[in-house]
Chains A and B, each alone.
Chain A
């Protein structure tokens, strides 16, 4: 039997190959001042925000839910962090930046707790429950920045997105996040209980699974991860832009989850699949830049490629193909006997 990750990984490898064939320096990596540079390295760095959001989205989707508010949480988190740094007397102080990050994440956590409250305790449909924050969140972010695009110059804060330790610092952030989420889910029983709740909530309830807490924690985790993503985003543009931060990221995150092989119906989930899914999306983005697709046409190009990728991964298509091969084989097996009859 084929591994679950076969198609996602195959797609990613194919994309990289196509790029490399188109322009050979795509795959080349150079070392300068003890740092690695190259298109692939850029992909690893730039995927950080989407990666963090998608990891959270995977867990939420596993519980049969969805989190539309991640973009808004990113905006709030960035706004909080920047406002704190901006208001301090010494923006270049590492302590100030750390404080800003911690406060931003605590507020993100509270937003996640709010989502979880609506979904798990009040029983509101996830898409509606998180829509509330999706719409209101950016307003909150604007309130925090008092309607301006706050900009700062803070070296430690910029380090978060552009810093290097051989590889981009942002890359280490998402690898660490993926490791923490993965270990928490799979080393404890959280992962399997989350899947149980997502597959059959009533059976899980009767089995004694505390599904409320599990669903709640999924939304909380999703918001914290979105909060980190918001900080990386703000650090990258050195500003808090309440409207542009994380715009449409929820849709890309959902796409990454699906590309990684997790069903939107909930249940079984694959974090590794999501990581590959995000890398596929990010590679596609780079491809468009690389091939010089005009920005007006890039959504169309993106959409076409996504459709192709999704169709290639469709299990139904695989089954039809298998049936076709099988019946062709059966026909071939039947033919000789027909010949034999004619001859005899």
Chain B
């Protein structure tokens, strides 16, 4: 590598003394941030530390209360993302904001469509879009509707869109939160290439492995305050974590025993799905979940994990197969049916399918219980106790139940959703990427909570693209590929490499 982030380059972005407050929250308090050409700079901090806010201050989404922003030595005041783009700053925001009712190609090229004779050259739009997507290693039909694609694809489309600009500064706010290893590698190749050409990249992620793989420099924020700026090579991982959370992280060893726990599979399973599928979406699959068991579902992008659980929950309708709950047949044609049978489902798409953004945090947490009760309002004391219990258990910050949920940081919104489902006290909890965007400390807490509940008898289906997490929690892992279930593993007998290998190679018919 020729270029590394030392002081060979002067800062391209200098943010000094940035302060931003929202009603009741001091989101950033006198924060300095410097970004140099040819470096990948990670912004690190807990959920709600102020990372996304700092980025939005840079790109003009939020006006700063005080402080200055210089771009290549000249002071800048951006009045919005388009100003920032014009100045060469391209951004992928944490909550993907694409037009799901447009095609993939239109989304990638939106606002930068090539023109011929004054009119948009649609052929060129789709050709260029395909090239950009190819750069990230995905080949999909650019004329297909974006809403038909998974969150991961949408995330990749958002990244491709940012690449179209060929910007001096590329800002990526948790771009990998729903990507698998393969896509992450591909993205990193592109990032390294941009870096070598002198671009400056801000990379926000809660995956420490990824940060240590790609970043040159780290700026740590805590509670809206700057903790410090460090070179990655000078900052060992445990020290980084301590700086982020302000204490030492409890180790995860306590949980690892969950996967070892023996499950009694003699009684009828809580959920027994046979041949559940839907044409063009999922080939018929079987799945059993026993009392107190955690079943992991692992697989690559587009393997059909989400599709399977959506059919089980009745979010989409299956056109084949049977489902039994505790030995009796269950019709799952709508979420209501699933709910009435004690199933809860937390979607991976928190923006579209999870958070009710304009309602308060408390109303969002109570929504699950309330929907089950119908029109009779959940008693106020009951609401208060549930809300305060889960806000504390999941450490939702700021601890203000009346705050508008859409104003919470991404990770805290995710915690609100988990709280909503846990509060309904289900018998079977389906978690699709529940730790997406959640910081290291809380992730450990959440895993502990799930393990604890399962020991008390809760059954869980756990989907995550973070395989370590699946291995740590699940006793059994169902592996999927190409919209098909290809095998079932006893997680005690597999380690990470074994699982990765199985996902990639096993079950193509050649192997037993």
Residues of A whose CB lies within 8 Å of any CB of B are 1, 187-190, 192-193, 195-196, 199-200, 202-210, 267-268, 323, 326, 330
Contacts and interface: CB of A to CB of B under 8 A. Distances in A.
Contacts of A195: 356, 358-359
Given A202-B352, A207-B335, A207-B368, 4 more contacts: A192-B370, A200-B352, A204-B356, A206-B335
B508 interface: no
B357 A199 contact: yes
11 contacts: A1-B23, A188-B377, A189-B376, A189-B378, A192-B370, A195-B356, A199-B357, A208-B368, A208-B371, A323-B63, A326-B65
Contacts of A199: 356-359
B345 interface: yes
A208 B355 contact: no
Contacts of B347: 206
Minimum-distance CB pairs A-B, first 9: A208-B371, A208-B339, A209-B371, A189-B377, A188-B375, A200-B356, A199-B358, A196-B356, A199-B356
Specify which of A199, A202, A203 lies most central, judged by the most chain B CB atoms within 10 Å of its CB. Answer: A203
Nearest to B424: A208
A326 B62 CA distance: 13
B31 to A, nearest CB: 18
Interface string B342-353: 000101000011
B407 to A, nearest CB: 13
Interface in B366-423: 367-368, 370-378, 420
B363 interface: yes
Contacts of A326: 63, 65
Contacts of B345: 206
Specify which of A196, A210, A268, A323 lies most central, judged by the most chain B CB atoms within 10 Å of its CB. Answer: A196
A187 B377 contact: yes
Nearest to A267: B358
Given A199-B359, A268-B358, A189 B352 contact: no
B356 A190 contact: no
B358 A202 contact: no
A193 B370 contact: yes
Nearest to B79: A323
Contact of A206 (B65, B315, B363, B374): B315
A189 B370 contact: yes
Contacts of A207: 335, 367-368, 371, 420
Contacts of A268: 358
B336 interface: yes
A210 B336 contact: yes
Contacts of B239: none
Interface residues of B, number: 32
B66 interface: yes
- Which DSSP category, helix, strand, loop or mixed, fits chain A's interface? helix
A267 B363 CA distance: 13
Given A200-B355, A203-B356, A192 B63 contact: no
Contacts of A267: 358
A189 B374 contact: yes
B80 interface: no
B462 to A, nearest CB: 18
A330 B66 contact: yes
Interface in B411-459: 420
A210 B359 CA distance: 18
Contacts of B114: none
Nearest to A330: B66
Nearest to A205: B335
Nearest to A184: B375
A190 B371 CA distance: 10
Nearest to B346: A206
Contacts of B358: 195, 199, 267-268
A121 to B, nearest CB: 14
B171 to A, nearest CB: 23
B507 interface: no
Interface in B62-91: 63, 65-66
A267 B406 CA distance: 13
A338 to B, nearest CB: 14
Contacts of B368: 207-208
Contacts of B373: 189
B375 A208 contact: no
B336 A200 contact: no
B354 interface: yes
A200 B339 contact: no
Contact of A202 (B313, B353, B376): B353
A206 B378 CA distance: 19
Contacts of B335: 205-208
Contacts of B370: 189, 192-193
A330 to B, nearest CB: 7
Given A193-B370, A326-B63, A330-B66, A200 B375 contact: no
Nearest to A200: B356
Nearest to B377: A189
Given A189-B370, A192-B359, A208-B335, A203 B353 contact: yes
